[in-house]
């Protein structure tokens, strides 16, 4: 009996422990990326420091470098995460939702990401992360994936006469994705007169109306 247990132990525990360690490792990495994402959303890529992230997670700066080669890689991982989350959100939309409503849902998602100070999907102009991100294959692939999805909906909405068919579909796509870093939200919020919900409504509405088919 004890032999049997020992055997199980010998056979399995090392594997279990290894798996456990890996889970811990991955959990820690996720915590780091999430913290980086939040800080980047609040302060921007340049202003956020690696130390900030380490503090937020509760580890030492040097430990962080065991997980990520540097600030660029860490932030690129954060960008990949937000693109992936967006992709998941889009794929979970009810199958019954018509293309135009999918686009509206995407717009709202992008704007809310920005307003809640999370990592916006789009880098703002002149971000120092733009270069490293161009070289990050994981990011580029995730983005291409999103683009394919969205372009499809746009073309359907154009065929349905809801989106201006005179606009190339990639122009429409850029117009929508650009809202993720639209300064309008901050401008309006800083006025202090309107609620966040109201601001998002206006932004969604004016964007889609601008792309709608004309009479």
Binding site for a copy of itself (CB under 8 A): 43-44, 46-47, 114, 120, 122-128, 167-168, 170-171, 174-175, 177-178, 180-184, 186-188, 191, 193-194, 202, 205-212, 214-215
> Taking CB under 7 A as the rule, does residue 56 contact DNA?
no
CA distance 155 to 90: 16
Q: Minimum distance from CB of 114 to a copy of itself (Å)? A: 8
- Pick the piece of the chain touching DNA (CB under 7 A) from 42-50, 93-101, 166-174, 196-204: 42-50
CA distance 84 to 65: 23
> Taking CB under 7 A as the rule, does residue 206 contact DNA?
no
**Exposure of 183 in the CB half-sphere (CA atoms within 13 A):** 3
Which 99-118 positions form the footprint of DNA (CB under 7 A)?
none
Please say which residue, 5 or 62, places its beta carbon nearer to DNA: 62
The closest of 79, 81, 87 to 109, measured between CA atoms, is 87
**Exposure of 7 in the CB half-sphere (CA atoms within 13 A):** 4
- Pick the piece of the chain touching DNA (CB under 7 A) from 9-17, 21-29, 160-168, 197-205: 21-29
Please say which residue, 70 or 98, places its beta carbon nearer to DNA: 70
Partners of residue 163 on adjacent β-strands: 212
Instruction: Identify what 125 binds: DNA, a copy of itself, none; CB under 5 to 8 Å per kind.
Output: a copy of itself
> Taking CB under 7 A as the rule, does residue 49 contact DNA?
yes
In the complex, the residues that contact DNA under the rule CB under 7 A are: 21, 25, 28, 48-51, 58-63, 65-67, 69-72
């Amino acid at each position: 009996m004890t032999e049997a247990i020992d055997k199980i132990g010998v056979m399995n525990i090392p594997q279990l422990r290894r798996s456990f360690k890996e889970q811990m490792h991955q959990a820690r990495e996720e915590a780091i990326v999430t913290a980086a994402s939040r800080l980047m959303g609040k302060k921007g890529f340049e202003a956020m420091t690696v130390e900030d992230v380490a503090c937020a997670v509760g580890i030492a700066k040097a430990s962080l470098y065991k997980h990520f080669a540097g600030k660029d890689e860490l932030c690129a991982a954060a960008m990949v995460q937000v693109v992936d989350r967006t992709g998941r959100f889009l794929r979970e939309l009810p199958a019954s939702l018509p293309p135009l409503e999918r686009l509206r849902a995407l717009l709202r998602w992008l704007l809310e990401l920005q307003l809640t100070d999370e990592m916006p999907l789009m880098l703002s102009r002149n971000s120092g992360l733009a270069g490293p991100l161009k070289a990050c294959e994981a990011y580029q692939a995730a983005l291409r994936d999103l683009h394919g999805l969205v372009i499809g909906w746009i073309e359907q909405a154009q065929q349905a006469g809801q989106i201006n068919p005179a606009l190339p579909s990639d122009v429409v796509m850029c117009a929508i994705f650009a809202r993720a870093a639209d300064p309008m939200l901050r401008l309006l919020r800083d006025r202090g007169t309107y609620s966040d919900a109201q601001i998002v409504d206006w932004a969604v509405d004016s964007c889609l109306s601008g792309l709608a088919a004309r009479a």
